[in-house]
Chains A and B, each alone.
Chain A
Amino acid sequence: MIHVLLITFIITLFYMAIANRLMTYIKVLAFQGVLLFFVVFIQLSEINTLNLVLILLETIVFKSLAVPIFLGYLLKRNNITREAEPFLPNFVSLVITTFIVVITILIANTIKDDNLDKIFFVVALSTLFFGLYLIATRRKIITHVMGYMVIENGVFVLSLAVGNEMPMLVNLGILLDIFASVLILGIFLNKIGDVFKDVDVDQLSNLKDY
Chain B
Amino acid sequence: MIGIYLLGAIAIAIILFFSRSKLLVYSLAGLFVVLQSMFTIYTGMHFGSTELVYFTYDSLGVILLITLSIIAIPAFLHSYIYIENHKEDPQARAIYLTSMVMLIMAISAGYLSNHIAVTWIFTEITTLSASALIYHHRNKLALEGTWKYVFICAISITFIFIGILFLSLSLQHAGSDDLSFSNLLKRRAELNPMWLRMAFLFIFTGFTAKLGLVPMFTAGIDAKDKAPAPAGALFATVLMNLGFVGIFRFYIVIANTPLLHWAQLVVGSAAFLSLFVSTVYMLKVKNIKRMFAYSGIEHMGIVMLGVAAGGIGYYAAVLHIILHAFVKSSLFFQFNQLYRVFQDKSIYHIGNYFKYNATGAMVLLFGFISATAMPPSGLFVSEFLIFKSLFDAGQIILLIAVLLLLTMIIWAFGKNIFKVLFIPAVGFDDSNVEKIRPWESVSQFILLATAVYLGLNPPAIFVQLLKDSVSLLPM
Residues of A that sit less than 8 Å from B by CB: 111, 113, 115-116, 128, 141, 144, 148, 151-152, 155, 158-159, 161-162, 165-166, 168-169, 172-173, 175-176, 179-180, 183-184, 187-188, 191-192, 195-196, 204, 206-210
A158 pairs with B192, CB closer than 8 A:
no
Is B435 located at the chain interface by the 8 A CB criterion? Answer: no
What's the interface size class on B, roughly? 35 or more
A-B contact pairs, 23 of them (CB 8 A): A111-B194, A113-B192, A115-B172, A116-B169, A158-B165, A165-B177, A168-B117, A169-B168, A179-B124, A179-B128, A180-B124, A180-B157, A183-B127, A183-B128, A183-B150, A183-B154, A184-B150, A188-B143, A195-B140, A206-B140, A206-B141, A207-B144, A209-B290
Residues of B that sit less than 8 Å from A by CB: 117, 120-121, 124, 127-128, 131, 135, 140-141, 143-148, 150-151, 154-155, 157-158, 161-162, 164-165, 168-169, 172-173, 177, 192, 194-195, 222, 225-226, 281, 284-287, 290, 346-347
A176 pairs with B124, CB closer than 8 A:
yes
A207 pairs with B154, CB closer than 8 A:
no
Q: Which residue of chain B has the shortest Cβ distance to A159 in the bound complex? A: B165
Question: Within 8 Å CB of A210, what residues of B?
Answer: 284-287, 346-347
A188 pairs with B140, CB closer than 8 A:
no
B140 pairs with A196, CB closer than 8 A:
yes
Considering the chains assembled together, what is the distance between the CA atoms of A116 and B173 in angstroms?
11
B147 pairs with A204, CB closer than 8 A:
yes
A115 pairs with B158, CB closer than 8 A:
no
B169 pairs with A113, CB closer than 8 A:
yes
A158 pairs with B162, CB closer than 8 A:
yes
Question: Within 8 Å CB of A188, what residues of B?
Answer: 131, 143, 146-147, 150
Q: Which residue of chain A has the shortest Cβ distance to B139 in the bound complex? A: A195
Q: Which of B135, B141, B168, B346 contacts A166 (CB 8 A)?
A: B168
B158 pairs with A184, CB closer than 8 A:
no
Considering the chains assembled together, what is the distance between the CA atoms of A128 and B161 in angstroms?
13
The smallest C-beta distance from B284 to any residue of chain A, in angstroms, reads 6
A162 pairs with B284, CB closer than 8 A:
no
Considering the chains assembled together, what is the distance between the CA atoms of A209 and B224 in angstroms?
12
B155 pairs with A192, CB closer than 8 A:
no
Question: Within 8 Å CB of B141, what residues of A?
Answer: 206-207
> 15 extra interchain contacts, Cβ-Cβ under 8 A, other than A162-B168, A183-B154, A195-B140?
A111-B194, A141-B147, A148-B154, A151-B155, A159-B165, A161-B165, A165-B177, A169-B117, A172-B117, A180-B157, A184-B150, A188-B146, A192-B147, A195-B143, A207-B225
A173 pairs with B222, CB closer than 8 A:
no
B150 pairs with A128, CB closer than 8 A:
no
A180 pairs with B117, CB closer than 8 A:
no
Known: A111-B194, A180-B154, A210-B285. Is A204-B148 also a contact (CB below 8 A)?
yes
Question: Within 8 Å CB of A168, what residues of B?
Answer: 117
Question: Within 8 Å CB of A158, what residues of B?
Answer: 162, 165
Considering the chains assembled together, what is the distance between the CA atoms of A204 and B145 in angstroms?
9
The smallest C-beta distance from B90 to any residue of chain A, in angstroms, reads 21
B287 pairs with A148, CB closer than 8 A:
no
Q: Which residue of chain B has the shortest Cβ distance to A152 in the bound complex? A: B158
B121 pairs with A175, CB closer than 8 A:
yes
Considering the chains assembled together, what is the distance between the CA atoms of A187 and B135 in angstroms?
11
Considering the chains assembled together, what is the distance between the CA atoms of A141 and B253 in angstroms?
39
A162 pairs with B169, CB closer than 8 A:
yes
A204 pairs with B169, CB closer than 8 A:
no
Q: Which of B117, B145, B151, B168 contacts A184 (CB 8 A)?
A: B151
A-B CB proximity, top 7 nearest: A210-B286, A209-B285, A180-B154, A115-B172, A204-B144, A207-B222, A166-B177
The smallest C-beta distance from A133 to any residue of chain B, in angstroms, reads 13
The smallest C-beta distance from B205 to any residue of chain A, in angstroms, reads 12
Considering the chains assembled together, what is the distance between the CA atoms of A172 and B165 in angstroms?
10
Question: Within 8 Å CB of B168, what residues of A?
Answer: 162, 165-166, 169
Considering the chains assembled together, what is the distance between the CA atoms of A166 and B151 in angstroms?
28
The smallest C-beta distance from B79 to any residue of chain A, in angstroms, reads 22
